[in-house]
Amino acid sequence: MNFRIIRTLLKKEITDIFRDTKTIIIMIVVPLVLYPLLFLGTMLLTSNIIKESTVKTYNVAIVSSTEEDYAFVESLLKEALDTHQYHFDISKFPTDEDYEKSLRNEKYQGIISIKTLEDDYPDFEVYTLTSSNKSSTCKGMIDQVLKDYKEKIIDEKLKDAIADYDALTADPFEIDHKDYSSKEETTGMLIGYIMPFMMIISVLMGAFTVAIDVSVGEKERGTLETLITLPIRNSEMMISKFLAVSIFALFSVTINLLSFTLMGIYIYNSMSLAKTLMGGFKFTQFIPSIILMAAVMILFSFFVSALCLCVDFTAKSVKEANNMTTPLMLILMTGAGVTVIPGVKLTSLKALIPILNVSLLIKDLFMLKFDPYMIAIVFFSTLIHTMIAIFVMTKIFSSEDILFGEGVKGVRIFEKRANMKEKQIPEIGDIIFVFALMFLISTFAGGYVILRFGFAGYAVSQLIIFAVPVLYAWYMKTDFINVFSIKKPRINELVGAVLFFAGTYILVTLLVSWVSALLPSILESNEQLSGIVSSGGFVASLFVIGIMPAFAEEAAFRGFLYGTLKNKKIPILVTMIITALVFAAYHMNLLQFIYVSVMGMIMSYMIYNSKSIFVTCLFHLLNNSFSVILQFNPQIINKIQFLGKSEFSLSDNFLYLGISIAILTLAFFISDRKVGFFKIKKSEN
C-alpha cells in the first residue's frame, strides 16, 4: 500500500467531484437554501392557517317563525364572539331557498332552525355539510354555542333548586404543576425527533451521488480504464474511492448541521415565541451530545459509504446503480424514521441493529440521556457493521471484473437464475448476504409481526428463517444434497442424538445455574420469552416452538452456513466453531449466547460426524419440544427433582456434571464414525 498514491488519487477524486456543479448543488445549495426556505415556509403557512381559522367569518342563516326567536338565536351567536372569538355573519334564511342547495353552493356554512315549544325551551335543528371543511368547522362552533346555552340553563336550574349551590361547585382542591424537565430537555426532545432523520438523510445525500460517480460513473465515462493503466494496486484505488465517498458524506453532514444551527439561531433571535419557550436556555448543554454525535456519524459515514460502493461496484451502468441503491435508501430512511414512533427506545438489542441504533442513539443524546453502556454498544456494533461492509466491498472490488463486466462473483443473487451453473456452492459473500437479509427481515418485519400478532408472528419469523436461505439456495442452483447435508441418517446416530440431547440438557441446566449465580441480572431478560411461548396453547406451542425451529434454524445454520463453510478452505474445526457462535449470537440474549454456544458446538460435531442434517434436526426437535412440554406440564418438574432446581449444592454439581459427561461420552461412542462402537471401515465410507 502506497500512501502517496492514495493521497494523490483522493485529491483527484475530490477535485473532480467539486468541479461537478450538479453534485455541489445537491450537497451545498440544497441544505443551505432550500431547508431554511422550506422550514420558514411551513412555519408561515401554519401560522397563517391558525390565524385564518380564528378570523374567518361563517355565514349562518336562521330559520324561525317569529322575530323574537330570531333575535334570541342571533344574541346567542353574537355572545360567542366574546367567549370564543367566533365570527358569525348572521342572516335570515330566505323562504324561497332549499337548505341543501344553499349549503352546497357555500352561501351558508350552517343553518339553524328553531322550533318554539309551549312552556319549554326551544328545540334546534342544525343543518351543515360536514364534507366541506368550512361547514364542518362551523358545525363545531354552533354545537359549542348551543352547549354553552344548555349548560347555562342547567346551571340556572340547579341554582334555583339547591340553596348552597356555589359552595358545592367550588373547587374541592387545587392542583399545582411542577415540571422537572429543563428547557434544554424540552428543546432536546424536539431536536431529538428531527436530528436522526436529518443526519442520516444528509449522509445519504453525500454518499449516494458520489459513490455512483466514482464507481459506475467513472466506468461509464471511460476514465476507469485510463485509471487502471496506472501502476496502482486495486486496494489503493478502492481505498481512495472509499475515502472520497466518506469525506463527501461527512461534508454533507457538516453542511446540513451548519444549516440547521444557523436556522436555529435565526429562529431563536427573531421569534418571540421561541424566546419565551427557551428563555435562559444554554446551548452549551448540548456540546457533549454534538461531539458524540459527530463521532458516531464519522463511523456511520464509513458504513454507508462502504454499503453504497458495494452496490455500485456491482452495477453495470449508472442507471442500474440508481435502481439498485433505491431499496438501500428506503431501508436507511425507514431506520431513520423509526425514532419518530413513540415508545421505540434504545435497548441493548436495538443497539445492535444497523442504522436503527445510530438514529436512536442520536435521539437519546439530544434528550440528554447519556448511558455509557448503550453508547459503547452502539459504537462497537457500528464499528463491526462498518468492518463487515468494508470486507464485503474488498471482496466485490476487483478492477478487472468491474471494468470488463464479467459480473460479480461475491453475491450471486444479482445474476439471472438462467445464467447460474448447476450444483453451485455458495460463496462467503452469499452467506453474508443471506444472513444480513434474514437479520433485516426478522428484525424489521419479524419484530413487528411478533409485536402485532404475538404467537403467530413467531411462526412467521421462523418461516422467514427457513425461506430466505432455502429460496436463495434454490435461486443460485445450489447443490442441495451437499450444502444442506441431505442424507439418510444411521440408526446409531439417531440414538446418539437422543443421548446427546439428554446429556446436553443436564449440562445446560448446570451452566444456567452457574451463570445466574455469577450474574443474577442475566436471568431477568430471559423471562420475557416464556410469555410468548405459553400464549398459544400446548399443541400450537409444540408446533411453533418445538418443531418449526428444528427445521428452519437447522436449514439456516447447519444447512446454509455450515454447508457452505465446510466446502471452503477453512479448517473444519473453525467452521464448527463459527457455526456454533453464529447460532448462539442469533439468539440475541447473553444467557442464551453462553449455553447455546455449548449446544451449538455439540450440534456442529453431530453434523460433522453424521453428515446428515436430520440428526441435528432430531436433536433440536427434542430439545425445544422438551422445554415446551415442561412449560405446559409443571407436574413433571415436581416429579423429577433435578428439573425444578436452579441452584445446586457442590456435591450435586459434581454428580450431575458426572452424569452429563457420562451420557455425552456414551453418545459420542455410539455415534462416532471413526472411533465409535459402530465405526465405519474406510472401504465402506
Partner 1 sequence: MIRVCNISKTFLRNIDKNASEKKGFARKTKEEFYAVNNVSFEAKNGEILGILGPNGAGKTTLLRMLASLMTPNEGSVEIYDSNGTIMEKAVDKKKHIGYLSGNTKLYNRFSTREMLRILADVYGISDEDAEKRIGFIEDVLEMHSFMDNRIEKLSTGQTQRANIARCLIHTPDIYIFDEPTLGLDVISSDAIVNFMKKEKESGKTVLYSTHYMEEAQYLCDNIFMIYKGKQIAYGTPEELMESTGTANLRDTFKKLIGMEAGSDEL
Q: SS3 of 370, please?
A: coil
How is residue 73 written as a grid cell? Answer: 338565536
Pick between residue 228 and residue 318 the one whose CB is nearest to partner 1. Answer: 228
Pick between residue 12 and residue 159 the one whose CB is nearest to partner 1. Answer: 12
The verdict on 9 binding partner 1 (CB under 8 A) reads yes
How is residue 158 written as a grid cell? Answer: 340547579
Cα–Cα distance for residue pair 410/425, rounded to 1 Å: 12
The verdict on 422 binding partner 1 (CB under 8 A) reads no
Pick between residue 20 and residue 79 the one whose CB is nearest to partner 1. Answer: 20
Within positions 202 to 261, which residues make up the interface with partner 1, using CB under 8 A?
221-223, 225-226, 228-233
CA nearest to 568, candidates 659, 636, 483, 447? 483
Sign of CA dihedral 316, 402, 439, 354: negative
Minimal distance, residue 418 CB to partner 1, in Å: 6
Minimal distance, residue 232 CB to partner 1, in Å: 6
Minimal distance, residue 225 CB to partner 1, in Å: 5
Minimal distance, residue 551 CB to partner 1, in Å: 33
Query: CB–CB of 177/271 below 8 Å?
Result: no
The verdict on 8 binding partner 1 (CB under 8 A) reads yes
Pick between residue 327 and residue 407 the one whose CB is nearest to partner 1. Answer: 407
Cα–Cα distance for residue pair 249/200, rounded to 1 Å: 10
The verdict on 317 binding partner 1 (CB under 8 A) reads no
The verdict on 172 binding partner 1 (CB under 8 A) reads no
The verdict on 15 binding partner 1 (CB under 8 A) reads yes
Minimal distance, residue 476 CB to partner 1, in Å: 14
Minimal distance, residue 419 CB to partner 1, in Å: 5
Query: CB–CB of 590/522 below 8 Å?
Result: yes
Query: CB–CB of 86/80 below 8 Å?
Result: yes
Interacting stretch for partner 1, rule CB under 8 A, among 2-10, 96-104, 258-266, 364-372? 2-10
Pick between residue 48 and residue 226 the one whose CB is nearest to partner 1. Answer: 226
Pick between residue 232 and residue 470 the one whose CB is nearest to partner 1. Answer: 232
Minimal distance, residue 14 CB to partner 1, in Å: 12
For 224, other C-beta atoms within 10 Å of its C-beta total 18
Alpha helices in 355-443, H assignment, sequence order: 356-366, 372-396, 399-404, 428-440
The verdict on 12 binding partner 1 (CB under 8 A) reads yes
Task: Show Cβ contacts of residue 433 under 8 Å, excluding neighbours closer than 6 positions.
Answer: 411, 413, 472
Cα–Cα distance for residue pair 156/178, rounded to 1 Å: 36
Pick between residue 9 and residue 667 the one whose CB is nearest to partner 1. Answer: 9
Cα–Cα distance for residue pair 580/600, rounded to 1 Å: 4
CA nearest to 113, candidates 54, 151, 153, 65? 65
Query: CB–CB of 245/196 below 8 Å?
Result: no
Concatenating the DSSP letter of every residue in 221-236 gives: HTHHHHHHTSS--HHH
Minimal distance, residue 9 CB to partner 1, in Å: 7
Cα–Cα distance for residue pair 466/468, rounded to 1 Å: 6
Minimal distance, residue 397 CB to partner 1, in Å: 15
Cα–Cα distance for residue pair 155/150, rounded to 1 Å: 9
Minimal distance, residue 2 CB to partner 1, in Å: 8
Alpha helices in 397-537, H assignment, sequence order: 399-404, 428-440, 447-453, 455-475, 480-483, 491-518, 524-534
Site for partner 1 (CB under 8 A): which residue of 16, 69, 79, 148? Answer: 16
Pick between residue 19 and residue 682 the one whose CB is nearest to partner 1. Answer: 19
Cα–Cα distance for residue pair 363/289, rounded to 1 Å: 10
Q: For every residue of 30-77, which 3-state class applies, written as one string?
A: HHHHHHHHHHHHHHHHHHHHHHHHHHCEEEEEEECCCHHHHHHHHHHH
Cα–Cα distance for residue pair 311/320, rounded to 1 Å: 10
Pick between residue 245 and residue 606 the one whose CB is nearest to partner 1. Answer: 245
The verdict on 417 binding partner 1 (CB under 8 A) reads no
Pick between residue 1 and residue 163 the one whose CB is nearest to partner 1. Answer: 1
Minimal distance, residue 241 CB to partner 1, in Å: 14
CA atoms within 13 A on the CB side of 255: 23
The verdict on 419 binding partner 1 (CB under 8 A) reads yes
Pick between residue 8 and residue 91 the one whose CB is nearest to partner 1. Answer: 8
Minimal distance, residue 411 CB to partner 1, in Å: 17
- DSSP-derived secondary structure letter, 8: H
Site for partner 1 (CB under 8 A): which residue of 3, 11, 271, 288? Answer: 11
Within positions 559 to 618, which residues make up the interface with partner 1, using CB under 8 A?
none
Within positions 17 to 36, which residues make up the interface with partner 1, using CB under 8 A?
19-20
- DSSP-derived secondary structure letter, 413: G
Pick between residue 223 and residue 665 the one whose CB is nearest to partner 1. Answer: 223
The verdict on 424 binding partner 1 (CB under 8 A) reads no
Pick between residue 6 and residue 565 the one whose CB is nearest to partner 1. Answer: 6
Site for partner 1 (CB under 8 A): which residue of 177, 416, 639, 674? Answer: 416
Cα–Cα distance for residue pair 100/93, rounded to 1 Å: 12
- Please state the separation of Cα 598 from the chain's center in Å: 30
Within positions 382 to 411, which residues make up the interface with partner 1, using CB under 8 A?
400, 403-404, 406-407
Minimal distance, residue 230 CB to partner 1, in Å: 5
Site for partner 1 (CB under 8 A): which residue of 55, 418, 518, 650? Answer: 418
Pick between residue 402 and residue 434 the one whose CB is nearest to partner 1. Answer: 402
Tell me the number of residues near partner 1 by CB under 8 A: 29
Pick between residue 11 and residue 157 the one whose CB is nearest to partner 1. Answer: 11
How is residue 260 written as a grid cell? Answer: 440547521
The verdict on 5 binding partner 1 (CB under 8 A) reads yes
Minimal distance, residue 562 CB to partner 1, in Å: 30
Q: Catalog residues that contact partner 1 under the rule CB under 8 A.
A: 4-5, 8-9, 11-12, 15-16, 19-20, 221-223, 225-226, 228-233, 400, 403-404, 406-407, 416, 418-419
